[in-house]
């Protein structure tokens, strides 16, 4: 992998508008294969729990867009029309991959890793650079954005939006750890990290500018200049609100959206959110 990193860094350093050789395209195909297999990842979790950005992977993905030419990717019957960079076609799976891609209009872009046991309910979309680990379910109308990292046995409920971060290359993408439940209509953006076994109730929105209020531990979690917003392991987060305390805010009865941690996961929560094995 170290040799591939050096080669990709050299390829990515080429100026925009440069001509690319057959060797360049072969190198990019090798890189994309490593993304598809999950060997190259935009971010990885260290032993101490810190998520580390692999900027060279992001640079390689961006190089692929520069290298690509617009191509007609429409189906043979022309019932639909698609035009995109020829370096990023639709990801092709086989039954040996062990991914359930249920019929109905879903799409996974080449350069994304879906591990064995992932279930994709239509329609859903996974963008380039994303990593989705074993046993995760991506429900209907859910999005896994570019470079987003999703752990094992995660449930992304219907219409959940997991934002990706491709640029700037040093920015941490959204990272969702193992056994997390993301409720319907949730949005997780701007490099937020959701630690293992957390539960996000339907409609919860997490962004870099959203403070999260922990009623259990009596703390407020925010993104800082040095670290992204983090949701603690096992936290149960629900949509809430907080009063606007300015004079006009009080006069007009205004409140602002505020996600609130109301409890930490227990046996009752586990029973409520359990996804039966036979669905996977």
| CATH code for the domain defined by 2-70 | 1.10.166.10
The reported pLDDT for the residue numbered 196 is 98
> For residue 272, is pLDDT > 90?
no
Mean pLDDT over residues 212-236, rounded?
96
Q: In this structure, what token pair is assigned to residue 180?
A: 């997390």
For all residues of the chain together, what is the average pLDDT? Answer: 94
Q: In this structure, what token pair is assigned to residue 201?
A: 């109730």
Give CA–CA dist 4/140, Å, rounded: 36
> For residue 280, is pLDDT > 70?
no
Mean pLDDT over residues 227-240, rounded?
97
The reported pLDDT for the residue numbered 275 is 57
Q: Residue 100, exposed/middle/buried by CB under 10 A (0-12, 13-18, 19+)?
A: middle
Q: Is the peptide bond before 63 cis (omega within 30 degrees of 0)?
A: no
Q: In this structure, what token pair is assigned to residue 264?
A: 């930490």
Angle at 232 between CA 227 and CA 237, to 5 degrees: 115
The reported pLDDT for the residue numbered 16 is 76
- 33-88 pLDDT, tens digit each: 999 999 999 999 999 999 999 999 999 999 999 999 999 999 888 888 999 999 99
Judge whether 116 and 37 are in contact, CB under 8 Å. no
> For residue 277, is pLDDT > 70?
no
> For residue 274, is pLDDT > 80?
no
Mean pLDDT over residues 195-199, rounded?
98
Q: Determine the distance from the C-alpha atom of residue 127 to the mean position of all C-alpha atoms in its chain, rounded to a whole number.
A: 8
Dihedral sign (CA 95, 100, 101, 103): positive
- 79-121 pLDDT, tens digit each: 889 999 999 999 999 999 999 999 998 999 999 999 999 999 9
The reported pLDDT for the residue numbered 278 is 53
The reported pLDDT for the residue numbered 279 is 58
Could you write out the three-class secondary structure of 25-39?
A: HHHHHHHHHHHHHCC
Q: Spell out the domain ranges in the chain.
A: 2-70
- 246-264 pLDDT, tens digit each: 999 999 999 999 999 999 9
- 125-183 pLDDT, tens digit each: 999 999 999 999 999 999 999 999 999 999 999 999 999 888 888 889 999 999 999 99
The reported pLDDT for the residue numbered 36 is 98
Q: What's the predicted TM-score (pTM) here?
A: 0.94
């Amino acid at each position: 992998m170290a040799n591939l990193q050096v080669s990709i860094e050299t390829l990515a350093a080429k100026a925009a508008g440069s001509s690319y050789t057959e060797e360049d395209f072969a190198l990019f195909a090798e890189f994309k294969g490593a993304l598809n297999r999950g060997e190259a990842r935009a971010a990885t979790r260290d032993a101490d729990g810190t998520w580390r950005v692999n900027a060279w992977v992001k640079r390689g993905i961006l190089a692929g867009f520069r290298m690509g030419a617009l191509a007609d990717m429409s189906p043979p019957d022309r019932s639909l029309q698609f035009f995109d960079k020829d370096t990023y076609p639709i990801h092709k799976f086989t039954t040996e991959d062990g991914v359930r891609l249920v019929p109905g209009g879903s799409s996974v872009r080449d350069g994304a890793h879906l591990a064995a046991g992932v279930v994709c309910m239509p329609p859903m979309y996974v963008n380039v650079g994303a990593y989705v680990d074993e046993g995760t379910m991506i429900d209907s109308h859910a999005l896994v954005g570019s470079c987003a990292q999703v752990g094992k046995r995660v449930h992304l409920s219907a219409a959940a939006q997991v934002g990706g971060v491709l640029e700037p290359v040093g920015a941490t993408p959204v990272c969702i750890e193992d056994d997390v439940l993301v409720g319907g209509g949730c949005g997780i953006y701007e490099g937020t990290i959701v630690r293992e076994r957390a539960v996000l109730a339907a409609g919860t929105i997490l962004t870099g500018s959203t403070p999260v209020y922990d009623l259990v531990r009596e703390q407020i979690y925010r993104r800082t200049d040095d670290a992204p917003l983090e949701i603690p392991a096992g936290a149960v987060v629900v949509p809430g609100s907080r009063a606007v305390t300015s004079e006009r805010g009080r006069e007009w009865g205004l409140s602002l959206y505020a996600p609130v941690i109301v409890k930490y996961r227990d046996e009752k929560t586990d029973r409520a959110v359990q996804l039966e094995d036979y669905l996977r």
